[in-house]
Amino acid sequence: MLNISRLNIMSQTKSSEELFHLIALSGQGDRAAFQALYEATSAKLFGLSLRILNRRDLAEEALQESFINIWHHAQNYRPEKAAVMTWMTTIVRNKCFDLLRAMPKESQLIDDESMDDWASSDLGPLEKATEQNESKALLNCMSALAPLQRQAIALSYFHGMAHEQLAEHLVQPLGTIKTWIRRGLQSLKSCLQGVSA
Amino acid sequence: MRYDNKKLADMLCAEYVLGTLKGAARRRFEQLIRQRSDWAQTFNWWESHMHLLADTVPAVSPSNKVWKNIESQLFNRKLTQNNNWWKSWAFLSTALAASFATLLVIQAPQDMDDETPAAIALLATEKAEAGWLLNETKKSATDVEIKVISLASLAIKPDNAFELWLLPADKSKPISLGLLPQQGFKIVKVPVDVIPLMASGLLAVSLEPVGGSPTGQPTGAVLYQGKMTKT
C-alpha cells in the first residue's frame, strides 16, 4: 500500500497517513523509514522538549531517548487509538517530565515569555507555529477561556504542574485552581465539539 | 454506561492527560482505566485533542548529533554498550506510559440515560484523590436525588464509616446527608428543606465510627470535599 514517491516529500507534507506508513515500516525494522520519520517530526518534537525543559542539552537528551523508545515500540503503535503525532508527543512529553523531575527544583526554569503568551488576550503568536487545522480550532477554543484559566492549563501541559504547584505559581487558592482547570477543560470540550460552552 | 460515569470519565481522563493528576492519584487512575474499557473513547479523545497544544510550539531543529547518537545506539551496539544500560530503566517508565494508551480497547458508544443530572460533584482529598462522584437529579422541585458512586480510587476504611455533610453557605451547622458507600453506589434522597441549600453549600465527608456520627455533627477528620456544579 506504500507509495514510495510520496515518502520522498515527507518532510514537506507530514500528513498523518504518511507518518502512519513510516511508523508501520519502522515497526518492521525499516531503518530508512525510521530516519524519514525522524526528519519529518523531530523539529516539532524538539520544540516541545525545549519548551518543557528550557535547556538545549536536556531537550536533546529527551529527544534522543524518545526516538530510541519510538523505534523499540513502533510495532505496538495502534492507529485506532491515536494519531502518530499524538503517540509520539505523548512519549516525548513523558520523557521530558522524567528528566524534569530528576532536576533540582531551583534549576527547573520556566520560559515565562511563552507562558505570558497564553495569558495574553491575543493568541496570534501561538497560532503562527501551528501546522494542523485541529490545533487552530483548539487555540480558538482556548481563546474563549479566561486568561488565567488558559495559563493554568498551559502551565500544566508544558510544565507538568499539578494543582498544588499551579496554586503556588499563580498565587491562587487550591480550590480556585481546581475549579479553573475543571471548568476550563469542560469548556474546551464543549467548544471543540461545536456545542456552546 | 451511565451519563454520570461519562462525566467522571471525562474529568479524570482530561486531568490525567493534561498532567494535573500526580503521584498516587495518577497511579489510581491508571489502575481504574485498565478496568474501564468503556472509558477508552473518552481517553483517546482527550489525548488526541490535548496534545494539539504541542503544535503551538515552534519547531526547532535539533543538532545533528542527536540523530547520530540515535543511530549509533540503535544500530551500532559496540559504541553504546559501555554506559547506557541504566538508561533502559528510564525508557521503561516512559514506554509504559505510552503503551498504556494502546492497551485500551475501543468500544462502541453506549446508551445514555434519559435522565440528565442537574448537577454533579466529585468528592476528593486535598491531594486530588477522588473518592466519590455525586450526581444530582431533579425529578421535581421537591424531589431531588443524589446518586453516589464510589470510585475505584477510594481508599477503603472497613472499620469506619464515611458520612456526607452539606455545609450551608450561611455557615450554619453541617447537615448530614447520610453515609457513603465504600463500594458500588447508593441513592440519597435530599430532604425537601435542604434542596435549596445544595447549589451554594459545600460538601464534606468526615470519617466516623461505623453507623455514622453519634452526635449528629461531624466528629472525625474531614477527608474529602467537593461542591455541586451545574451540568
Which residues of chain B lie closer than 8 angstroms to A54, CB-CB?
Answer: none
Q: Smallest CA–CA separation between A2 and chain B, in Å? A: 24
| Cross-chain Cβ contact B19/A161 below 8 Å | yes
Q: What is the pLDDT of residue A119?
A: 80
Disruptive mutation site among B8, B16, B20, B42 for chain A (greatest number of A CBs within 10 Å) = B20
| Cross-chain Cβ contact B20/A93 below 8 Å | no
Helix, strand, coil percentages (3-state) for chain B, rounded to 5, are 35, 25, 40
* φ/ψ (deg, to 5) at B123: -90, 120
Q: What is the pLDDT of residue A12?
A: 37
| Residue A65 grid coordinates | 531517548
Q: What is the pLDDT of residues B167-212, one digit of tens each?
A: 998 888 999 999 999 887 888 889 888 998 998 899 999 999 888 8
Residue A179 in this model has a pLDDT that exceeds 50:
yes
Residue A14 in this model has a pLDDT that exceeds 50:
yes
Contact B32, B151 (CB under 8 A): yes
3-state SS string over B75-143? HCHHHHCCCCCCHHHHHHHHHHHHHHHHHCCCCCCCCCCCCCCCEEEEEECCCCCEEEEEEEEEEECCE
In sequence order, the 6+-apart residues with CB closer than 8 A to the CB of B213 are: B163, B176, B206, B219, B220
Mean pLDDT of A83-100: 94
Q: What is the pLDDT of residues A25-81, one digit of tens each?
A: 899 888 888 998 999 999 999 999 999 999 999 999 999 999 999 999 999 998 888
Q: In this complex, which of B47, B58, B99 lies closest to A86 when CB atoms are compared?
A: B47
Q: What is the pLDDT of residue B128?
A: 65
C-alpha distances in Å from residue A135, one per residue of A88, A192, A193: 16, 10, 14
Highest mean pLDDT among A5-9, A124-128, B93-97: A124-128
pTM: 0.60
Q: What is the pLDDT of residues B102-126, one digit of tens each?
A: 333 333 333 334 355 677 777 878 7
Disruptive mutation site among B10, B52, B227 for chain A (greatest number of A CBs within 10 Å) = B52
Q: Residues for chain B: how many in total?
A: 231
Q: What is the pLDDT of residues B117-170, one digit of tens each?
A: 677 777 878 766 778 878 888 888 888 999 887 776 688 888 899 999 999 988
Q: What is the pLDDT of residue B89?
A: 40
Contact B79, B70 (CB under 8 A): no
Q: What is the ipTM for the molecules in this complex?
A: 0.87
Q: What is the pLDDT of residue B156?
A: 84
| Residue B134 grid coordinates | 455525586
Mean pLDDT of A87-92: 96
Q: What is the pLDDT of residue B86?
A: 40
In sequence order, the 6+-apart residues with CB closer than 8 A to the CB of A84 are: A16, A19, A20, A22, A23, A77
Q: What is the pLDDT of residue A155?
A: 93
CA distance B129 to B58: 35
Q: What is the pLDDT of residue A3?
A: 39
- Residue A23: alpha-carbon gap to chain centroid: 18
Q: What is the pLDDT of residue B58?
A: 92
Q: What is the pLDDT of residue B207?
A: 92
CA distance B199 to B169: 9
| Cross-chain Cβ contact A43/B69 below 8 Å | no
Q: Which amino acid is at B51?
A: H
